[in-house]
Amino acid sequence: MFGFCFSVGTAIAADDVVLDSDVAKVGSELAAEVNAEQISVEQAEEMGLNRAETYEISSTVSVENLELQIAEKLKESIMPYYSIEFNDPTSDDNNYRAIVTEYFSKVE
């Protein structure tokens, strides 16, 4: 279902145009809006973090709308870390989607 697993890395539009700048913008704007720290899935594994919750967020409007929805969801969270994986839409699917995973510190 998801062809790319990047933490604010690369998103692909329905016309197969890479949206690197839009995705980077989402990452920087989220960093300013939420208290949690964005990390990659690999970093979470290396740090030994525990997964708290994973959810999908989608928008048929724009990457900016997707970012607003992600920010609203993360503002409600008390988890200190999160990662975002953007989708690779098919030509018949114009949705912008992201999988957001929230993490908490390793329990000692």
Instruction: State which residues of the chain have pLDDT below 50.
Output: 1-18
Residue 2 lies in a domain: no
Q: Domain residues for 58?
A: 20-87
**Tell me, what's the pLDDT at 14?**
41
**Tell me, what's the pLDDT at 34?**
87
Residue 35 lies in a domain: yes
Assigned token pair, 74: 């993360």
Residue 62 lies in a domain: yes
- Domain tally, the chain: 1
* Long-range contacts, stretch 26-30, CB < 8 angstroms, 24+ apart: 26/63, 26/64, 26/66, 26/67, 26/70, 26/84, 27/84, 29/67, 29/71, 30/67, 30/70, 30/71, 30/74, 30/84
State the CB neighbour count (10 A cutoff) for residue 14.
14
